[in-house]
Amino acid sequence: MELTSHVDRPRGSDNRLAAEPRAGSAEGATDALARVAVAFNGSPQSMDALMFGALVARSTGSKLVVACVFPPDSLAGMTFERRAARVARDDHRIFVREDAEAVLVEARAALPDNLAVDYRTLECESPRGGLRQLALSESIDLLILGSSHRGSVAQLLPLGVVRGLLRRSPCALAVAPGGFRYRKRPALRQLVVARDQSPSSDRALDVAAAFAVQIAANSKAATNLRVFRVAAKGSPAPSPAEVELAARAEVDERIAKLAGPGGDVHYREPDATLHIYTSATAARSDPTAGLIDIATSDADCLVIDWPRHQNSRRGRRLHRARLLRRAGCPLLLVPAGIRSPFLASFETARRLGRSERTAAA
């Protein structure tokens, strides 16, 4: 496994983390792989995020970046115990660069040897600012975080950091549930996407379809995409057969755009046939509770949109903040106005495929 550690430092009088251009612009222009980053600080919650990030990278063939944010040198004058003593008290806070480098060594030891990973230490005053700048400078498609830390020490990556990133998100976010690191043989075979007829949920459905295509193309295994339909208040409830047919038609249309005619993806192997199955469920009186049950019992990942002004939309029946707190499976959050993960990689692959076919002709 590769270990290339980079330290990014702030430049200029405003003390912000400088945006470092993605290395190899020519190579990046032809790179068809999505980039997945994990925020890691050595805590159990960040270990959950690390294991989910490794699963996503392995299942989709994406590039994995593991990052740890540490404060500037100006904040390092405070006294603190050695990291081993602090970890024994469940205190995983990062104070100096040595702490960040130590937790990246822990991340390297936890990941499989056959997984290529880039490691980053980021110097910034806040984890949120450092992670946002990482996503911008490294062209990250998906940033994975752990759940809220609820120990006796101050919160490390609390729910407020996730919401802060969602308010002005540079990329899609994923949140790994507590205890994910203990799951035996985790897989991404059962994907669920929430659909409520809004433009933002259309985007979530596109991302979920691209996610399923990427997994099926990379692993050559069957993947089930389940659409959870949330009807508007007062609208007549469709029959289960109507819900199933509508969902299947929508997903088939999106997969056809991604995979091309016949379901063949010109990505890794031109003749790789996709095996993606679509099912659907209609929401009942409390759609959030029903989706939490599905996400806890038989879902490997839940894909939902995150509207820009969800507090002002009182007519919405799906409470996304409640899902963020209580879902039992990883959540993939698609904020409004961001680059969709796994979609750009297929557009790049398609352009490369056309170029190769033109050159061969």
pLDDT, averaged per 10 consecutive residues of the chain (361 residues), comes to: 39 32 38 85 92 95 92 65 77 80 93 92 87 91 80 43 77 92 91 85 89 86 88 69 84 76 43 72 83 90 82 61 86 85 64 51 53
Q: Which DSSP category does 155 fall into?
A: P
pLDDT, residue 316, reads: 64
Place of tokens 């679509």: 278
Q: Which fold would CATH assign to domain 5-14+32-182?
A: Rossmann fold (3.40.50)
φ/ψ of 348, rounded to 5, equals: -65, -45
The neighbouring-strand residues paired with 146 are 176
In this predicted structure, what is the pLDDT of residue 27? 42
Q: Which residues contact 163 (CB under 8 A, 6 or more apart)?
A: 321
Q: What pLDDT, on the 0 to 100 scale, is given for residue 230?
A: 83
Written as one letter, the residue type at 274 is L
The first and second tokens of residue 203, run together, are: 């985007």
- Give CA–CA dist 213/258, Å, rounded: 8
Using DSSP's 3-state secondary structure scheme, residue 223 falls into strand
DSSP conformational letter for 262: G
Residue with tokens 């407020």: 160
Q: What is the DSSP letter of 30?
A: T
Reported pTM: 0.80
- Asked if the domains at 5-14+32-182 and 190-349 fall in one CATH topology, the answer is yes
Two structure tokens written together for 94: 């990062």
Listed residue (177, 59, 70) closest to 121, CA to CA: 70
Rounded to whole angstroms, the Cα distance separating 9 from 21 reads 13
Parallel, antiparallel, or unpaired for β 117-123 and 172-176? unpaired
Residues 6+ apart with CB under 8 A from 280: 226, 227, 228, 229, 240, 243, 244, 246, 247, 248
CATH topology classification for 190-349? Rossmann fold (3.40.50)
Q: Which residues of 47-66 are buried (b: 16+ CB within 10 A; e: fewer)?
A: bbbbbbbbbbbbbbbbbbbb
Let me know: does 69 contact 12? Beta carbons within 8 Å.
no
User: What's the pLDDT at 53?
Assistant: 96
Q: How far apart are CA 212 and CA 312, in angstroms?
A: 32
| Dist CA 8 CA 10 (whole Å) | 7
Taking the domains of the chain in order of start, what are their residue ranges? 5-14+32-182, 190-349
Contacts 24+ apart (CB under 8 A), 195-200: 195/227, 195/228, 195/229, 195/230, 195/247, 195/250, 196/229, 196/230, 196/231, 196/232, 196/316, 196/317, 196/318, 197/230, 197/231, 197/232, 198/305, 198/307, 200/305, 200/306, 200/307, 200/308, 200/334, 200/336
- The single-letter code of the amino acid at 14 is D
**What Rg, from alpha-carbon coordinates, does the chain have?**
21
Measure the CA–CA gap between 347 and 353, rounded to whole angstroms.
10
Q: What is the pLDDT of residue 260?
A: 57
| Burial (CB count within 10 angstroms: exposed 0-12, middle 13-18, buried 19+), residue 139 | middle
